[in-house]
Structure 1
Amino acid sequence: MPMSSVSAAKPTYPGVYVEELPSSTRTISTLTTSVTAFVGHTRRGPLNEPVRVTSFAEFERRFGGLGARSAVGYAVHQFFGNGGTVAVVVRVTKAGSGKAACVTLKSTEGHSDSDVLEVHAKEPGVWGNGLRVAVDHDTSCPDDTFNLRVHDARGAARESFTGLSMDPASGRHAPTVVNAGSRLIRVEAVGEGRPDPSGTVSKPFGHRLPDLAVDLTVKIGDVAREFTLYDPDSDGEAPCSVAELALLLERKLRALPDAPGKHAFAGTEVTVLGRRLQVVAGSTDPEDVVRFVGECANDLGLEASVNPPVFPLAGGEDGAAPGPRDLIGSEAAKTGIQALRQVADVNLLALPELAAYERTEDAVTVVSTAQRLCEERRIFLLVDAPATWVGVDTARAGIAAFDAVRGNHAGLYFPHLQLTDPLTGRLRAFPPCGAVAGVIARTDAERGVWKAPAGTEARLAGVHSLTVDLTDRETGLLNPLGVNCLRTFPLTGPTVWGARTLEGTDALDGEWKYVPVRRLALHVEESLRRGLQWVVFEPNDENLWQQIRLAASSYLHTLFRQGAFKGGTPREAYFVKCDSDTTTDEDIANGIVNVLVGIAPVRPAEFVIVKIQQTSGQFEL
């Protein structure tokens, strides 16, 4: 921290004045290296919207978990199971497919019967058919406002919105409040008036209650029971208010025997709505409607409005799996993989559905577009071998289809994995991208982005076996073609045994041959790009160049000390040049400052050759 012996304030006594000044040194922070984006079909979730999740439990809440038709769900599960920590999921479906579940709530207030509020599931899919909504008027203004609760199929309350109004001028306007705060539903006002409450609602009682010593018959669903509403001999003093009547009626209904396995009577709730009563069965089965029958019930006005205990949403349909065009998406509309342009931190991209495409050409088309996006956004693409590669011969014959997309921002992995499907308990083949992404994340955390995510430490957790058991000779045929092989070894089990980019064939022999070298460069580029944002609009002179050199060198030296570069000294490991040689007078006139950075990455020891020499003679200890 710089210190100054000259105070900004006027000295008032002889002595030494010390003032703390803010540091002028700019630092460049290390960014994430293994945030993985998964794009494709999921059971639920917002369409074409990137959502960050940090555990599979969170993925289950937001996207519905595993699904037989969702390769993304299994890939995310394998990602977290192998050490992944942060994923970005983009749900994509076939264009025009899928439908959100819906229910229309009615109003009978004012002697009318009209639709007033449409409730839709937030996203398309059959998952919405399990949602239930309940309405009551138990608010501070029971004649004008209402409450809306959302339940799941098991009856558990998920969300609650209170004091809603149908008046657009109100600060509690139902569509505004619900649509902004709900993850499950959205609502749309389609008429005037507020929705009727759930359950059975009575007429308003007068200030003097009628004779309550009557026998009533109540039916919930198909079960009918008889009871005496008020018995002076056993119930004590008669109720004097609507609230006391509600307590009495609730106690009587809960005492009635239920059908086997049911909780409709035992969980009955009676709520006071101003001068009225609302009776709701203790069940979220829409068939459990409470009905009071007979002349005595009519006299008490217990059936002014009869509705189910909850209003079920229906009509939801899952979207079909996305095709190549759906995955590619639109850059203008930010759909498909183009939705990732909205996300700042994505380091890896997985498209697990490509492996199942019948036509390899379709998969290659998507890979081509994905690679262009990866080059622009500094992302590394994990490509799964097609499911049709069932052996070494089919892999060698099929790899030619990828010649058109042999870039250094992608790596191809073969073969597929055999895991126990949690949904069925049986072994099933899965594309490896999710598990490989998890291994990369684990390797980055333990060793660094410059360590090849392969070798004995790159064990594939939870994998039973591989669809193709490769030998050393077979690996030797595929490795020079830029195929990263997955192998099974006696001590380590299924393991990643390759770290080449798609450009990393022996024939091409490019400088970006290895995955860790390419990913380290991407990491350095993005860190410097963000860490030097402060340079914009600063005076373009030697003082600025010196600050740039200091900030960039400090960042690179930190990586050097961690083992990211080869060389015994910083001079051998990296350099930063920013001066009048890199930035000419013409550049200065055009507002340009040029920074030249060089790094010496550590290439992985892909081939370890052990030479053994036989000697004779005596050994001295």
Structure 2
Amino acid sequence: MPRLDYFAPGVYVEEVDRGSRPIEGVSTNIAGFIGFTEDVRGDAELFKPMLVTSWNEYLEYYAKQGSDGFTDFDAYLPFAVNGWFLNGGGRCWVASIGTKLPGSQPPPPEETALKLRTTGNRPSLSFALKPAEGDDDGGAEGRINVSVTESQPRPPESPEAEPPANTGEFFKVIISRNGEILEEYDNLSMNPQVEAQLGAYAVTALQESQFVTVADLETPGQPLSRRPANGTYEVSPPPVVSTPDRFPRDVQGVRDDRTGMQGIFEIDEVTMITFPDLMRAYQNGILDLDQVHGIMEAMVSMCENTAPNRMVVLDPPPCKGGGAPVSPTQVKPQHIAQWLSAFNRRSQFAALYYPWIKVPNPRNGGRPILIPPAGHMLGVWCRTDETRGVYKAPANDTPRGVIGLAYETNLREQELLNPLGINCIRTFPNRGIRIWGARTLVEPDNVQWRYISVRRLMSYIEKSVELGTQWVVFEPNDQDLWARVTRTVSNFLERLWREGALFGASAAEAFYVKCDSSINTHETMMLGRLYIEVGVCPVRPAEFVIFRFSQWSPNQ
């Protein structure tokens, strides 16, 4: 801003901002997952979204120590998150809705206790939380840390006495929570007959603890070989098992508490969402089909209302026309068409893939299990964004980690599903498994928003321009500002056109930016408003490739 107060003669240097500010594209490949996990530990909390950047980090938050991260009741969320990372997914947010199916019997305390092992990987001690009065939340507040460190026998009372020999069997236990030390127990041994002047039997000493109960796993051997290995371990409360009646409310969550689905939708950077364990709840009779439809409708509506840059990928339920759940292998294309007609919810912010996919199940010796495809599909979306761009349709690509399909769809059957917006996953000879569809669930006659890539490209442009023009707010609303805004947006769109995201032989054919007195009148300026009109021509996928052949004679 030039100065207006020049009083003394001289030379003045001023910095004037004349250039346009570049718009940086927003991230479009961050997913949100909702479902069951094996555990909830560390900084993660039940029902609250947690940022996860790798499969190893997922194991830190949502798997038991030393576990593979999958569950004994075959929850679909771990498979979906694993498929996300296998297919090139980066950051994602995970909201755990429980570690057990609603209505199931809670495991006995000895099963959920922390089991410490020796350096030779043999059982040593087990730690379990003591139930506190009035503590019924079972959440992360009850978690404590148990640290095992080196120790030595007690020194003799007399300074002149010779100290006892350190056999290496003694250790120290420190109980803490959130970095605050709660209790310490020193000179512990795994020998029940340890001499009192040397130390204390670990189980006997820890009986005085106000926070944990301890049991000796009674592995045979000498005290040194039975000593727990040094390290810091987390003792978790027993899992909270929700009731089937309360489960839909837990899934919905509370917006102010940032829990459940509401919590995922409060994360601004999430651009794609899926709920794989909605199908697990349906298959196990926790939810009926109408309840499934209600949750699907809620997710679609929140994508439409909260932000224009989010899409939800729905999974087809394993049913035949609204009846009881069946095996995914029994769900034929006509059943999915009938189900979608009964669900009757259309939106450009939703997508659907069929059939279910077959992946290895580590909890069953690597034998295959059929799971909903959404997690793997979102990974392909992310990979396509990074390798080609958001304008490239995430189709005609191979989903990694998939070894088979629940049903082999042929061309005639896809001719039934594709016009309805159901994207097929098919197997082709010598080409493997391919994603053979790129449509949204918009109304079939709404061709403008038919393709996933077009919807996501427009969302990318809209959100990038919105965030990249925040500097305009409260600037003087005059012709100079109009020109600067026009240059800023035009430069961003021209860069997209040169990358191939917009269609046109020239930039003028690919987009236009209008910000002048024809749309910014005196009345609108008096109201403090600045209008910028932007039109773009997105590229669309070549879904149907038609060659026209005819006989040709050079003499004609």
Distance (Å, rounded) in 1 between the aligned partners of 2:185 and 2:302 = 61
Shift, 1:593, TM fit: 1.4
Contact 2:152 2:171 in 1 (8 A): no
Q: Does 1:66 align with 2:66?
A: no
CA deviation profile, 1:316-366 (whole Å, cap 9, x unmatched): 125358844332223343321110243221111111122342533222211
The structure 2 residue matched to 1:603, chosen from 531, 540, 554, is: 540
Q: Could you say which residue in structure 1 is the equivalent of 2:348?
A: 408
Question: In the TM superposition, what is the alpha-carbon distance from 1:464 to its structure 2 partner?
Answer: 1.0
**Aligned residues of 1:132 and 1:311 also touching (Cα < 8 A):** no
Residues 89 and 614 (structure 1 numbering): CA distance in 2 closer, same or farther, change over 3 Å?
same
- CA–CA distance in structure 1, aligned partners of residues 461 and 430 of structure 2: 35
Q: For residues 407 and 79 of structure 1, what CA distance do their matches in structure 2 show?
A: 24
Q: Could you tell me how far apart the structure 1 residues matched to 2:27 and 2:310 are?
A: 11
Aligned with residue 388 of structure 2, among 447, 466, 490: 447
Q: 1: CA distance between counterparts of 2:517 and 2:105?
A: 62
Residue 580 (structure 1) shift:
2.1
Deviates more, 1:424-433 or 1:346-355: 346-355
Give the match's secondary structure for 2:448: coil
Q: CA deviation at 1:88?
A: 1.1
Is contact 2:187–2:199 with CA below 8 Å preserved after alignment? no
Do 1:75 and 1:435's aligned partners in 2 also have CA atoms closer than 8 Å? yes
2:56 aligned partner: 57
Q: Secondary structure at the match of 1:423?
A: helix
Q: In structure 2, which of residues 70, 77, 83 is the aligned counterpart of residue 78 of structure 1?
A: 83
Moved more, 342-351 or 85-94: 85-94
Mapping of residues 497-576 of structure 1, within 5 Å:
497-505=436-444, 508-576=445-513
Question: Is the Cα contact below 8 Å between 2:482 and 2:515 reproduced in 1?
Answer: yes
Cα distance change of structure 1 residues 400 and 323 upon mapping to structure 2, 3 Å threshold: farther
Deviations 1:204-247 (A, max 9, x none): 8545345xxxxxxxxxxxxxxxxxxxxxxxxxxxx3xxxxx2xx
Deviations along 1:92-116, one digit per CA (max 9) or x if unpaired, are 23999899999xxxxxxxxxxxxxx
Q: Offset of 1:428 from its aligned partner?
A: 0.9
Structure 1 contact 100–315 (Cα < 8 Å) conserved: no
Partner Cα separation in structure 2 for residue 540 and residue 399 of structure 1 = 50
Residue 272 of structure 2, aligned match among 342, 348, 351: 348
Q: Look up the SS of the partner of 1:487 in the other structure.
A: strand
* Corresponding residue of 1:119: none
Amino acid at match of 2:21: R
Q: Select 1:421's aligned residue among 353, 356, 361.
A: 361
Scaled by the length of structure 1, what TM-score is found? Answer: 0.67
Aligned length: 468
- The DSSP-based 3-state class of the residue aligned with 1:85 is coil
2:370–2:406 Cα contact (<8 Å) kept: yes
Preserved contact between residue 35 and residue 278 of structure 2 (Cα < 8 Å)? no
Q: For 1:425-484, what per-residue CA distance to the aligned partner results, in whole angstroms no more than 9, with x for missing partners?
A: 1111010001100111111111111111111xx111121111010010100011111111
Change (3 A) 1:493 1:301: closer
Is 1:28 the counterpart of 2:33? The answer is no
Which of 143, 159, 172 is matched with 1:208 structurally? 159
Alpha-carbon distance between aligned partners in 2 of 1:77 and 1:330, rounded to the nearest angstrom: 27
**Is there any run of 5+ residues in structure 1 with no aligned partner, and where?**
1-8, 103-124, 134-151, 157-182, 189-194, 211-238, 240-244, 255-264, 282-287
Cα deviation per residue 1:30-80 (whole Å; 9 max; x = unaligned)?
A: 111111110122122312322221211111111112224421111000111
- Alignment partner of 1:365 is 2:279: no
Q: Are residue 486 (structure 1) and residue 425 (structure 2) matched?
A: yes
Check whether the contact 2:149–2:172 (CA below 8 A) recurs between aligned residues: no
What is the DSSP-based 3-state SS (H/G/I as helix, E as strand, rest coil) of the residue aligned with 2:386?
A: helix
Q: Which residue of 1 aligns with 2:317?
A: 386
Equivalent residue number for residue 333 of structure 1:
257
What does residue 38 of structure 1 align with?
A: 33
Whole-Å Cα distance in 2 between the matches of residues 277 and 33 of structure 1?
A: 51
**Which ranges of structure 2 fall in alignment gaps of 5 or more residues?**
1-7, 64-68, 126-139, 174-183, 215-234, 321-330
Matching residue's letter, 2:48: E
Q: Which residue number in structure 2 is paired with residue 163 of structure 1?
A: none
Distance in 2 (CA, whole Å) between partners of 1:277 and 1:49 is: 35
1:432 has 2:373 as partner: yes
Return the alpha-carbon distance in structure 2 between the equivalents of residues 330 and 411 of structure 1: 25
Give the secondary structure class of the aligned counterpart of 1:31.
coil
Contact 2:391 2:501 in 1 (8 A): yes
CA contact (8 A) 1:200 1:304 kept: no
Deviation at 1:489, TM superposition (A): 0.9
- Could you say if the C-alpha distance between residues 291 and 51 of structure 1 is closer, same or farther in structure 2, counting changes exceeding 3 Å? same
> CA deviation digits over 1:576-613, x for unaligned, max 9?
11222222222222222122111101111111111111
Equivalent residues of 1:98, 1:318 under 8 A apart = no
What is the rounded CA distance, in whole Å, between the counterparts of 2:21 and 2:317 in structure 1? 47
- Structure 1 residues 609-618 or 25-34, which shifts more? 609-618
**In 2, Cα distance between equivalents of 1:480 and 1:543:** 49
Whole-Å separation in 2 of the counterparts to 1:589 and 1:18 = 35
Inter-partner Cα distance in structure 1 for 2:16 and 2:319: 66
Please name the residue that 2:113 is paired with: 129
Is the 8 Å Cα contact of residues 421 and 428 (structure 1) preserved in structure 2?
A: yes
- Counterpart CA distance in 2 for 1:304 and 1:481 is 70
Change (3 A) 1:453 1:277: closer
1:279 aligns with 2:263: no
The one-character-per-residue Cα deviations of 1:281-322 (angstroms, maximum 9, x if unpaired) are 3xxxxxx355425xxx5xx47559942599654751253588
- Counterpart of 1:249 (choices 157, 165, 169) is 165
Shift of residue 419, structure 1, vs aligned partner: 1.2
Distance of 1:423 and 1:571 partners within structure 2 = 57
Does the Cα contact within 8 Å between 1:75 and 1:434 map onto a contact in 2?
Answer: yes
Counterpart AA for 1:367: M
Give identity over the alignment, percent. 31
**Aligned partner of 1:392: which letter?**
P
CA distance in 2, matches of 1:575, 1:26: 18
TM-score (norm 2): 0.74
Distance 1:10 1:291 in 2: 96
Q: Specify the alignment match of 1:225 in structure 2.
A: none
CA offset digits 1:481-521 (Å, max 9, x no partner): 1111111112321111111111152xx33421111111111
Distance 1:289 1:603 in 2: 74
Query: Compared with structure 1, are the counterparts of its residues 355 and 203 closer, same or farther at alpha carbon in structure 2 (3 Å cutoff)?
Result: closer
